[in-house]
Amino acid sequence: MPSVHLVTEEEATPNAVTSAPSAWMVWSYLAVGAVLLAVIGTWLVWFSVSIQRKFHEEDIRAACQRVMPDTAERCFDTVVIQRGGVRR
């Protein structure tokens, strides 16, 4: 069996020529990609700030529990307010 197959004109089918994507389509893909990237980036920043705030609150709460176990909640509220945060 030969490794090359000759194609006759009857067997050959013409290929349709596809046009290149229009400039509007390219710009719309870029715009959608930029918006999607901005949304994901914003969410990641918000999520990291949220986790960092949670860890800071746990550290403050643990320190207040060590120093003033009987009034730990009041200590926590005072420290958070003094650092510029809002509690409740």
How many other β-carbons are positioned within 10 Å of the β-carbon of residue 6?
6
B/e letters for 54-69, b = 16+ CB within 10 Å, e = fewer, are: eeeeeebbeebeeeee
Per-residue model confidence (pLDDT) at position 13: 74
Q: Report pTM.
A: 0.58
Q: What is the pLDDT of residues 56-68, one digit of tens each?
A: 889 999 999 999 8
